[in-house]
Amino acid sequence: MSVEAKTDHAFDYVIVGAGSAGCVLAGRLTEDPRCRVLLLEAGGEADSDLIRTPALYAQLQDSPWDWGDRTAPQPHLLGRRIFMPQGRGLGGSSAINYMIYIRGNRADYDGWEAAGNRGWGYESVLPYFLRAECNRDLADAYHGREGPLVVSSHASGNPLVERYFAAAREAGIAYNPDFNGSEQMGVGPLQATIATGRRCSAADAYLEPARARPNLTVFTHALATRVLFRGSRARGVEYVRLGVSERAEAGCEVLLCAGSLRSPQLLMLSGIGPAAQLERHGLRVRVNLRGVGRNLQDHLHTRVRCAIRSPLTFPPLPQEAKAALRHGYEQEGTGPFASNCLEAGAFLPSRPGEAVPGLQHFFLTLLSPDYPEAGPPLRHGITLTSYINRPQSRGEIRLASANPLDRPIVDPNYLQTADDLRCAVAGVRWNLKILNASAFDDIRGEEVAPGAGQRSDAELEAFVRRSASTTWHPAGTCRMGQDEAAVVDAELKVHGVDGLRVVDASIMPTIVSGNTSAPVIMIAEKAADLLRQSSSRPAAV
């Protein structure tokens, strides 16, 4: 990598990554005019109709706003390399995700605290969910109304969603009006980070209102290459911006918010990680921290897909009809373009008597393609998908080389354990039960996957292995804890060094039972408070 050196820049905080966590920190820290903050983002601006329009999220995969990562070949998924979209641009994955707002289960956070992470139990983190949330439709003790992140319900009356609810009732599943309320189990509507028909990303919610502040500097197309140290203290970041190598000094702290794939990569490139791996790539070992990159978890989902005999789904409509709907959307912000096609779902047990649901289900009002990065569906249909909420399988992130321009090796090790496979098959069986309820009898067409007659355990296990894919929720690779395999402590400080924290999904000791976007925003809201209380904060003027 041949680059030209450039003059340093001095700030109080340098934030690496303008995703869900980085945008929150940039917004919250610059509320204090004393704090000079630099936000580094490897991607560019996220200003596009494709991003703003909820129904077009599929077109963001393998786009300029996506890193386009693939996993290493997965031995338990027939050697397949799984496509794992990750946001690359202001807003990060919150600018390209499916916009589903789910916090996880109370037991997830209580488990974090029980493992020694004081202050991370459910009652401790709930205020940060409330602080973040501006819920347009729900108002009770479990929801905030004044936060920057807009959360809303979908319009009622979708005939496919009503059939789904009726089919779930036939399957013996209780109705739950709010998965983020007092109980998680059941079937019900999903809320989304959509504001008057437009995506509300973390950049929209937190960064955009802060960009006019003189104490915030945002550099896009700036790839962090290593953390700089003075002795045992992090003192800045080296990065490449538009082909030029630059350095930024952090007078207070460096905050890594690059996500579960690239935060551990950056730590290892900076000499913090498993000594044997660093030495293999010729890197100086600053701290032998064996947990960096380990403990990778992800939500693996399997899709039951079925054609329907009525033209009730949006993607296969003729172009003329779509153009009329698009015109209405641009005028009113309503209609199919305002929906993420994920308006309902369920949390269900993976085995009888399971108190904390082992499965999360989604109902898509479209026939999903054969694989995530394929084109749009060509016929009307529905998809019922489920994923393993708390997988037991553990993978890792490894360096491909010492070159920061090389992608990390992503090896989730999906279905490493037999229980994960059992859980995945249980999710498929639940969805087949719902699909074959009488509520769908009048419109049910060809069962595309797994296919009519594919019902034995062996057949469904084979179906999972050949078709399961990621839900884009990598987590846990810079695990929070106090043991020797932990990477950060309960204040998110990296063990063994000063002035360096990790703030993103990588700090999760165990992945949450639900979508990870809202929990990452919560983590960053809590981190902002931890930084305000820190002795390293900027001095009063």
Contact of 422 with 149, CB cutoff 8 Å: no
Identify the pLDDT of residue 345.
98
Contact of 212 with 218, CB cutoff 8 Å: no
Q: How far apart are CA 93 and CA 236, in angstroms?
A: 25
pLDDT tens digits, 404-437: 999 999 999 999 999 999 999 999 999 999 999 9
Q: Is the pLDDT of residue 361 over 70?
A: yes
Identify the pLDDT of residue 535.
72
pLDDT tens digits, 251-287: 999 999 999 999 999 999 999 999 999 999 999 999 9
Domains and CATH numbers, the chain: 1-68+84-152+192-293+475-541 (3.50.50.60), 155-189+300-388+416-467 (3.30.410.40)
Q: Is the pLDDT of residue 5 over 50?
A: no
Q: Which residue has the tokens 């786009």?
A: 63
In the set 143, 299, 361, 473, the catalytic residue is: 473
Which CA distances in Å does 205 have to 151, 338, 450? 11, 18, 40
Average pLDDT of 338-367?
97
Identify the pLDDT of residue 3.
39
- The packing angle between helices 159-170 and 418-435, to 10°, is 110
Percent of the chain with pLDDT over 70: 97
Residue 371 φ/ψ region, left for φ over 0, alpha for ψ in the -120 to 50 degree band, beta for the rest: beta
- Strand 244-256 and strand 9-16: the pairing is parallel
- Cα dihedral sign for 52, 54, 427, 306? negative
How far, in whole angstroms, is CA 231 from its chain's centroid?
Answer: 34
* The two three-digit tokens of residue 80, written as one number: 């397949």
Percent of the chain with pLDDT over 90: 90
* CB-count burial class (<10 Å; 0-12, 13-18, 19+) for 164: buried
Identify the pLDDT of residue 317.
81
C-alpha closest to that of 164 among 154, 155, 175, 153: 175
Q: Is the pLDDT of residue 177 over 60?
A: yes
Average pLDDT of 6-22?
89
pLDDT tens digits, 291-321: 999 999 999 999 999 999 999 998 888 888 8
Identify the pLDDT of residue 367.
93
What confidence category does residue 403 fall into, taking pLDDT thresholds of 50, 70 and 90? very high
Identify the pLDDT of residue 325.
87
Per 3-state DSSP, the chain is made up of helix, strand and coil in percentages (nearest 5) of 30, 25, 45
Residue 380 is a catalytic residue: no
Identify the pLDDT of residue 374.
67
